[in-house]
Every structure is written in C-alpha cells, then in structure tokens.
C-alpha cells in the first residue's frame, strides 16, 4: 500500500507536475474567488481561449511554442479581451452573456486559424489539454517569478477589487478594472501555455465554488480554495499515473468530485438548523 502511494513521486516529472499545479493553485484560487462572486464564470474561459487563439495565430505565422514572441502574441490577445471586458457595461444585457459570446467567437477563430496547419488538431489538443507531465522546470521557475510580480500588484489592488466584487462600488471604475483584468490576462496566458485551457478553467472555478459553499468568509474561502486545488492536483496526478490516463482531464474530474463533496458537506451542515424538530409537531 505504501509503495502504491509513493510510486508516482519517485519520478522527477511527476514531482515537477505537482509543483506546477501547486504553483497555479494559489493565484488561480484568488482570481477564481472574484470571478465566481462577480458571477462572470465565462471570463476565465474566454480569457484562456483568447490566449489560446493568440498561440494558434503564433503557430500559423511560424512562431515556436514556449518562445518570447509566442508569449507576447498570446498575451496581446488576452489583454485585448481584458480591456474589452473591463470597458463593456450594459444595464440591459448581463456581462456574462457578452463574455460567453466572446468565448464562442474566440473558439471558432482558433479552429479557423489552425485549419491550414499541418498539425491543426494536434495543436488544438495541446491548447485545450496541455502537457502538465512534460512541463520544463526552467519554464516553471520563470512562471513563478511572473506570478509573484502579478501577485504583488493584486495584493495592492485587493481593497478596490473586493469593493467591486462585493457590489459596494457600482458601476466599477475603469482603472481598477483594467488592472484586475490585465493581471488576469497575464496569469491566464502563462497558465494556458503550461497546462492548457481545460485545467486553467478547472483551477479557476471549481475550487472557488467549493470554497464558497464551505465558508462565507472571504479569507476562509480563499484558504479552502487553495487547499482544495492542491488536494485535487495531488489526487488527480496520482490517479492519472496509476490508471495511465491524461493528467489534465483527470485532475479536473477530481476537482469536480471534491466540489460535489463540498456541496454535500455544506448541505448536511445546514440541514439540522433548517429542519424543525419532528417531536414538536
């Protein structure tokens, strides 16, 4: 039994994959908290898909993966989306609808861009699912430094971001929104390059939803989100190794199971308080 548990972590690529997931867990749990509380769940998918579209355009024009040029192009597409999401507001149409339309268009454009690539479908799979098990350690270290810098900016902007998230400022000022969505775009661009759109979506939304089901306190919810993202990564990678399955989809499914467990636990915790004593009737 101990060997079964320890076997995956004897391999350096598994340890680096776990480090990669844990690196993503913290900053994505924070951003996911704001996304879920604001009710704009498609923002992360749309931003990630715009970063993927930029990467697809890079492939078409001959840029190699994991190069500075490819990252700048991908980040440029994501930052364009960030500016649009920060600026577009309507009292008659919910922002989620606008973002969802944007996501659909970005997805369609990605397929169109890769239609004439000789390895188009392989590129689509790479952009959607990624290769978390083959991530380069050097790239992880660079990404960690990037996340540290963005985390510093987000920490400075946290009071204003929370005011918008909690509805205390309406309409939200454009400047702080550009900072928030711009930081979001840079994080998502780096993350998509590491692990693909699917796992980025899983890390942003599932732990945040589970955490908010377990606690109404923002600080506690952020703690729960980081913990659940880390636990889902550990269990998902372990299962993917032993079942010989692709890691990213298994991690997302594991996060989904943890979300269901959190929902059930939240329901059971509230049930005694909500149900009158049968003996009183």
Task: Identify whether 274 is part of a domain.
Answer: no
**Is 258 a member of any domain?**
yes
Q: Is residue 27 part of a domain?
A: yes
Q: How many folded domains does the chain comprise? A: 1
Whether 147 and 157 have beta carbons less than 8 Å apart is answered as: no
User: Can you tell me the distance from the alpha carbon of 24 to that of 57, in angstroms, rounded to the nearest whole number?
Assistant: 25
Residue 46 tokens, joined: 């749309």
- In the 3-class helix/strand/coil scheme, how is 210-245 assigned residue by residue? HHHHHCCCHHHHHHHHHHHHHHHHHHHHHHHHHHCC
Let me know if residue 143 belongs to a domain.
Answer: yes
Asked if 55 contacts 193 with a C-beta cutoff of 8 angstroms, the reply is: yes
Say if 276 falls within a structural domain: no
Domain that holds residue 101: 2-264
What was the pLDDT predicted at 281?
Answer: 47
Q: Could you tell me which residues come within 8 angstroms of residue 147 by beta carbon, excluding any fewer than 6 positions away?
A: 23, 26, 27, 187, 190
Tens digit of each residue's pLDDT, the chain (281 residues): 677 788 889 899 999 999 999 999 889 988 988 888 887 777 777 888 888 888 888 888 877 766 788 888 888 888 888 888 777 766 666 777 777 888 888 888 888 888 777 766 677 777 777 788 888 888 899 999 999 999 999 888 888 888 888 878 777 777 778 888 888 888 988 888 888 888 988 998 899 999 999 888 888 888 999 999 999 999 999 999 999 999 999 999 999 999 999 999 888 877 665 555 555 54
Q: What is the CATH number of the domain that holds 44?
A: 1.10.3470.10
Tell me whether residue 60 is in a domain: yes
Q: Where are the alpha helices (DSSP H) in the chain?
A: 2-6, 12-38, 42-60, 68-87, 95-113, 120-129, 137-165, 174-195, 197-214, 218-243, 247-274
Report the alpha-carbon distance of residue 53 to residue 192 in Å, rounded.
11
Q: Is residue 278 part of a domain?
A: no
Q: Give the pLDDT confidence score for residue 69 in this predicted structure.
A: 81
Assess contact for 211 and 229: CB atoms under 8 A.
no
- The answer to whether position 178 is within a domain reads yes
Closest C-alpha among 83, 96, 95, 99 to residue 181:
83
Cβ-count burial of 169 within 10 angstroms (0-12 exposed, 13-18 middle, 19+ buried)?
A: middle
């Amino acid at each position: 039994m101990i060997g079964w548990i320890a076997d995956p972590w004897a391999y350096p690529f598994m340890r680096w994959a776990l480090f990669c997931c844990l690196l993503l867990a913290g900053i994505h749990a924070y951003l996911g908290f704001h996304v879920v509380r604001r009710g704009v769940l498609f923002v992360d998918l749309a931003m990630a898909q715009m970063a993927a579209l930029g990467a697809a355009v890079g492939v078409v024009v001959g840029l190699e993966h994991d190069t500075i040029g490819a990252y700048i192009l991908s980040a440029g597409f994501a930052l364009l989306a960030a500016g649009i999401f920060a600026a577009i507001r309507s009292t008659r149409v919910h922002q989620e609808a606008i973002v969802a339309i944007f996501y659909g268009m970005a997805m369609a454009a990605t397929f169109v861009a890769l239609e004439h690539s000789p390895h188009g479908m392989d590129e689509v799979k790479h952009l959607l699912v990624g290769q978390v098990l083959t991530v380069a350690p050097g790239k992880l270290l660079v990404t960690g430094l990037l996340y540290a810098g963005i985390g510093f900016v987000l920490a400075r902007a946290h009071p204003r971001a929370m005011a918008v998230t909690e509805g205390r400022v309406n309409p939200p000022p454009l400047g702080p929104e550009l900072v928030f969505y711009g930081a979001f775009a840079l994080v998502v661009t780096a993350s998509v390059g590491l692990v693909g759109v699917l796992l980025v979506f899983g890390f942003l939304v599932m732990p945040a939803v589970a955490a908010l089901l377990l606690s109404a306190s923002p600080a506690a919810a952020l703690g729960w989100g980081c913990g659940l993202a880390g636990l889902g990564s550990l269990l998902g990678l372990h299962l993917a190794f032993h079942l010989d399955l692709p890691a990213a989809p298994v991690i997302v499914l594991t996060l989904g199971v943890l979300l269901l467990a959190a929902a059930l636990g939240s329901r059971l915790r509230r049930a005694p308080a909500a149900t009158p004593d049968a003996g009183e009737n």
